[in-house]
Amino acid sequence: MTPRRVVVTGLGALTPLGNTVSEYWNGLINGVSGANEITRFDASNFKTRFACELKDYDPNKHFDRKEARKIDAYAQYALISTKEAIKDSGLDLESIDLDRAGVIWGSGIGGLDTFITEITNFSTGDGTPRFNPFFIPKMIADIAAGHISINYGFRGPNYSTVSACASSANALIDALNYIRFGRADLFITGGSEAAINVGGIGGFNGMHAISTRNDDMKTASRPFDKDRDGFVLGEGSGTLIFEEYEHAKARGAKIYAEVVGAGLSADAHHMTSPHPEGEGARKSMAYAIKEAGIEPKDIDHINTHGTSTPLGDIAEPKAIVSLFGEHAYDIIINSTKSMTGHLLGAAGAIEAIASILAINESLIPPTINHFTDDPDIDNKLNFNFGEKATPHKITYALSNTFGFGGHNASIIFKKFEE
């Protein structure tokens, strides 16, 4: 069968740069850093004492107290960004076939806050097991998808994808494929993460994966900079409404972009380190380009995975040069993680939103916090270093997301045309 066209008709975001899509975008194009001292817990004894937390987040503004106690933060975030996306999409839930509307959601960890709280309470108690009856349903990584489905009555495919930092990109790709091949008409898709807690910071410190630049936290996320020392942990959620084109057209929906290609691959190399030559990343990008029916020379912009880690920031540029050849130097590349930090399983979703808005606004957010070129990186590439966005007409934007375990996901968005 001929694959059906898939378009994006709604966006929602809850990020360290702002609690709505417009606030998030304004932060990106103005080069704002979301890093600050950790307020979630006393981090004074940790090697890292800062992160990209949500700002002014109060669950009681979104949920009643009884409901909030039943839902882990990562699922709260999912519900909040989804509410914005549903409103943005203009969906009339009474006029669509809810049996053909689904939810595919990504989270790399799920309810880590809940897990830590319950185990801490048990281990510091008298040994009597007094676990919250909502412990398991709050913690499991699929429950955000379940809550979204219950809230909106979507009875189509409903599940979560878990592939570390590629989780929400995998969710988007699955949603794309279900719609393309006729198994559904509409999906709520995206991802959320809430890992800024003693386990998240302590665990990543133990791996030496996150920055310890406590004396200069605003510039700690330094993708592609010689002196980068790890990523900055972020939190939040991103929701996209994926819809079959004719379905969207019939209801007069506004269309942000078309989703035209996706690629998945595995490094099959190492538990946490990427393939040193970026082979898996090159393949996922190549697969996405082939699926989109375009040539490498057609890509105008790449939102890189660009985490600010020593090895990852070398492998991805190698993959780009290997795949795109001389055209690599004409592509405007950026890493929005320089501002948002790394939202782990939610990264693919919020970066897809950034890519789509870049297409719509003909404006590419910068890669901030660049001070020194790394001789191990091809610095002829245009990383869009600076503090402000760059005007640029974009027809095709590619967004990369890679995860521990060697999971690689690339997705291509196209400027919408009838």
Condensed to tens digits (0 to 9), the pLDDT of residues 211-262 reads 999 999 999 999 999 999 999 999 999 999 999 999 999 999 999 999 999 9
| Residue 122 binned pLDDT confidence (cut-offs 50, 70, 90) | very high
**309-325 average pLDDT score:** 98
- Stretch 179-188: mean pLDDT: 97
Residues 100-118 have pLDDT tens digits of 999 999 999 999 999 999 9
* Whole-number Å distance between alpha carbons of 333 and 346: 20
Q: Residues near 352 by Cβ (< 8 Å), separated by ≥ 6?
A: 168, 169, 172, 238, 240, 399, 411, 413
Q: Render pLDDT for 2-12 as a digit per residue (tens, 0 to 9).
A: 899 999 999 99
Q: Name the nearest CA neighbour of 191 among 270, 53, 85.
A: 85
Q: What are phi and psi of 345, to 5 degrees?
A: -65, -20
Bridge-based pairing of strands 101-106 and 186-193 is parallel
Confidence of residue 418 (pLDDT cuts 50, 70, 90): confident
CB contact set of 128 (below 8 Å; sequence gap of 6+): none
Q: CA angle, corner 361, sides to 401 and 185, nearest 5?
A: 60
Q: Specify the domain boundaries for CATH 3.40.47.10 within the chain.
A: 6-250, 263-414
- d(C-alpha 264, C-alpha 383), whole Å: 24
DSSP 8-class letter at 326: G
- What mean pLDDT is predicted for residues 281-296? 98
What tokens appear for 369 in the block? Answer: 């916090």
Q: Which of 275, 301, 342, 370 is catalytic?
A: 342
- The highest-level CATH class for domain 6-250 is alpha beta
User: Given 165, 247, 275, 407, which residue is catalytic?
Assistant: 165
Residue 43 phi, psi dihedral angles, 5° rounding = -100, 15
Query: Is 267 in contact with 318 (CB distance < 8 Å)?
Result: no
For residue range 380-407, what is the model confidence (pLDDT) as tens digits? Answer: 999 999 999 999 999 999 999 999 999 9
Mean pLDDT of 150-178: 98
Q: Which residue has the tokens 């987040």?
A: 57
pLDDT of residue 326: 98
For every residue of 371-387, DSSP letters joined together read: -SB-TTS-TTSB--BSS
Number of H helices, E strands in the chain: 13, 14
Q: Is the pLDDT of residue 1 over 90?
A: no
Catalytic residue among 147, 301, 305, 407: 305
Q: Which residue has the tokens 């107290």?
A: 65
Average confidence score pLDDT of the chain: 97
User: Distances in Å between the alpha carbon of 241 and those of 89, 99, 144, 188, 257?
Assistant: 7, 16, 16, 5, 11
CATH among 1.20.1640.10, 3.40.50.720, 3.40.47.10, 2.60.120.1360 for 263-414: 3.40.47.10
User: What's residue 61's pLDDT?
Assistant: 94
Copy the structure tokens of residue 313: 């920031």
165 included as an active-site residue: yes
Look up tokens 């590629």; give the residue: 166
Structure confidence at residue 7 (pLDDT): 98
% pLDDT > 90, the chain: 99
Q: Pairing state of beta strands 186-193 and 236-244?
A: antiparallel
User: What is the CA angle 29-30-35, rounded to 5?
Assistant: 105
Q: What is the DSSP string of 71-121?
A: S-HHHHHHHHHHHHHHHHHT--TTSS-GGGEEEEEE-SS-SHHHHHHHHHH
